[in-house]
Amino acid sequence: MKKIGLVLLVLLGGTLSGLYYFWHQATKLPDWYQEGTPQGSEGSPEDIEQRAATVQQTIQAKLRHRPTPSSLATASSGKPSAQVPQSQPNGAIAKKAVGTVPAPRSRQDVEVQLNPQELNDVLVSKIAEQSQAKALPKSVKSVRTTVEADTLKTGAIVDMKALRESDLGTQEQTFLTEAAAKFPGLSDRKVYIGIEGKPRIQDGKVQFDDETRVRVGNLRLTIAEIAERFGVSPDQVKEQLALRLQFNNLHVKDIELLNGTAILRGSPTPTTAP
């Protein structure tokens, strides 16, 4: 009996140790988050909205100054050297990122290069737009986006208690209850929730593949693991992670991560076509 009791104690100790490790990793906040700063390091909702509007103005300017069909025909009458890269409308040299297959594009396509802060502002504005709100809810304390090689890392600090007390719909409340059951101990804390993966544009949305990792604190879970925990299909998880990335005057067809920046390529919508 003493031997059995000792085995049970060892097993119990190992289980508690595993649970503590899981809880500690899941509740760990990233080093960049500073408690008490408005909307984290990127400023107030008004600041984000203003910077997102600046990106929109940049896109509009590029659309106004893109080559017309007649100017393209004139330029193509010469014989440029095959070894000389062709300049894009914004003066940048076209480059191909390793591991990506850019969507076919015409010489009239517009190319917009965004640094991580600009990309972050655009994503925040699109998340708010997708949720039919002018700004992120107060339960979202900070959002941060970085580009490392060909991987996009974006995530938010979410106050789970404030989120639970907010005016959520029935479906969202049900999902939150299930999430609290799957990740015990997180319902009254601030938690970092993020995505790390290689984005692509499909059907007008930023989408991620099966190799994407969903971060909860310091835990990195695969799409399949998230699907298994919530009893849904991997495709349903990927659909929830998708974000519509379109502008009033630009149909985005391709996203490329290069040298720490994101390059959006697309064509003008019919309302802005010459």
Domain parsing of the chain, residue ranges: 27-63+115-250
For residue 246, the model assigns a pLDDT of 78
Pair of tokens at residue 187: 């319902």
The per-residue DSSP string of 71-105 comes to HHHHHTTS---TTSPPBPTTSPBP---TT--PPP-
3-state secondary structure of 154: strand
- For residues 60-89, one letter each, b for 16 or more C-beta atoms within 10 angstroms of the residue's C-beta and e for the rest, the string is eebbeebeeeeeeeeeeeeeeeeeeeeebe
The torsion angle over the Cα atoms of residues 207, 213, 215 and 216, rounded to 10 degrees, is: 110
Residue-wise pLDDT tens digits, 188-222: 888 888 999 999 998 888 999 889 999 988 889 89
For residue 172, the model assigns a pLDDT of 64
With a cut of 70, list the residues of the chain below it in pLDDT.
1-21, 34-46, 48, 65-108, 131-135, 167-173, 175-176, 180, 182, 184, 270-274
Does this model's pTM top 0.75? My answer is: no
- Residue 147: which H helix or E strand, with range? strand 140-148
Instruction: Give the Å distances, CA to CA, from 82 to 71, 85, 86, 89, 245.
Output: 20, 8, 9, 19, 34
For residue 81, the model assigns a pLDDT of 40
For residue 135, the model assigns a pLDDT of 63
Residue-wise pLDDT tens digits, 52-87: 778 777 777 777 766 554 444 444 444 444 444 444
In whole angstroms, give the CA distance from residue 161 to residue 149: 35
Tracing tokens 């104690």 back to the chain, one arrives at: 9
Sign of the C-alpha dihedral computed for residues 201, 142, 259 and 61 taken in this order: positive
In whole angstroms, give the CA distance from residue 212 to residue 181: 23
For residue 108, the model assigns a pLDDT of 62
Pair of tokens at residue 228: 């298994």
For residue 66, the model assigns a pLDDT of 63
For residue 61, the model assigns a pLDDT of 78
For residue 10, the model assigns a pLDDT of 42
For residue 173, the model assigns a pLDDT of 67
Measure CA 273 to chain center.
Answer: 29
Contact residues for 271 (Cβ-Cβ < 8 A; gap 6+): 248, 249
